[in-house]
Chain A
Amino acid sequence: MLVSLYRYNPETDNAPYMQDVELEIPAGKDLMVLDVLNLIKEQDPSMAYRRSCREGVCGSDGMNMNGKNGLACITPLSEVLKNNKLVLRPLPGLPVIRDLVVDMSLFYKQYEKVMPYLVNDTPAPAIERYQSPEDREKLDGLYECILCACCSTACPSFWWNPDKFIGPAGLLQAYRFLADSRDTAQEERLANLDDPFSVFRCRGIMNCVSVCPKGLNPTRAIGHIRNLLLQRAT
Chain B
Amino acid sequence: MVNSVTNLGRSGVFDWLIQRVTAYVLALYTIFLFGFILTSDVNYETWSSLFDQTWFRIFTLLALLSIGAHAWVGLWTVTTDYIKATLPRFLVQALCGLTMFVYVVWGIQILWGL
Q: Is the CB of A233 within 8 A of B13?
A: yes
- A229 → B minimal CB distance (Å): 4
| Complex Cα–Cα for A178 and B17 (A) | 21
B12 & A161 in contact (Cβ 8 Å cutoff) = no
Interface stretch, picked from B2-10, B26-34, B63-71, is: B2-10
* In the assembled complex, B11 has its CB within 8 A of some CB on chain A: yes
* Distance between Cα atoms of A234 and B82 in the complex (Å): 31
Among A1-9, A71-79, A125-133, A191-199, the one that faces the other chain is: A191-199
Cβ of A200: which chain B residues have Cβ within 8 Å of it?
12-13, 15-16
- Of B1, B77, B82, the residue contacting A195 (CB under 8 A) is B1
A105-124 near B? 1/0 per residue, CB < 8 Å: 00000000000000000000
Check if A27 is an interface residue, CB within 8 A of chain B. Answer: no
Cross-chain contact B12 with A197 (CB below 8 angstroms): yes
In the complex, what residues of B have CB within 8 A of residue A226's CB?
13, 16
A160-B81, A161-B80, A161-B81 known; A199 and B1 CB under 8 Å?
Answer: no
Q: How far is the CB of A23 from chain B (nearest CB, A)?
A: 39
Main secondary structure of the interface of B (DSSP, over half): helix
User: A196 and B81: CB pair below 8 A?
Assistant: no
B14 beta carbon closer than 8 Å to chain A: yes
User: How many residues on B have C-beta within 8 angstroms of the other chain's C-beta atoms?
Assistant: 17
A170 to B17 alpha-carbon distance, docked (Å): 23
When C-beta atoms are compared, the residue in chain A nearest to B19 turns out to be A200
A:130-185 near B, CB below 8 Å = 157, 160-161, 164
Given A161-B81, A196-B7, are A233 and B1 also a contact pair (CB < 8 Å)?
A: no
Contacts of A229 in B (CB 8 A): 12-13
* Interface residue? A15 (CB, 8 A): no
A197 — which chain B residues lie within 8 A by C-beta? 2, 4, 12, 80
- With A160-B81, A161-B80 already in contact, the answer to whether A230 and B13 are too (CB < 8 A) is yes
Q: Tell me, rounded to whole Å, the shortest Cβ–Cβ distance linking A95 to chain B.
A: 16
* B81 A195 Cβ-Cβ under 8 A: no
A194 CB contacts on chain B under 8 angstroms: 1, 11-13
Q: How far is the CA of A234 from the CA of B13 in the complex (A)?
A: 10
A199 touches B17 (CB 8 A): no
Contacts of B3 in A (CB 8 A): 195
B2 touches A234 (CB 8 A): no
Q: Mark B68-108, 1 if CB is under 8 A from A, else 0.
A: 00000000110011100000000000000000000000000
Interface centre among A196, A198, A200, by most chain B C-beta atoms within 10 angstroms, is: A196
Contact yes or no, B11 A195, CB < 8 A: yes
A165 and chain B: residue at smallest CB distance: B2
Question: Hey, which bits of chain B sit against chain A, CB under 8 A?
Answer: 1-4, 7, 11-17, 76-77, 80-82
Q: List 30 A-B contacts (CB under 8 A).
A: A160-B81, A160-B82, A161-B80, A161-B81, A164-B2, A191-B1, A193-B1, A195-B1, A195-B2, A195-B3, A195-B4, A196-B4, A196-B11, A197-B2, A197-B12, A198-B1, A198-B12, A199-B12, A200-B12, A200-B13, A200-B16, A226-B13, A229-B12, A229-B13, A230-B16, A232-B13, A233-B13, A233-B14, A233-B17, A234-B17
Q: Which 6 A-B pairs have the closest CB atoms?
A: A200-B12, A197-B2, A160-B81, A196-B12, A229-B13, A196-B7
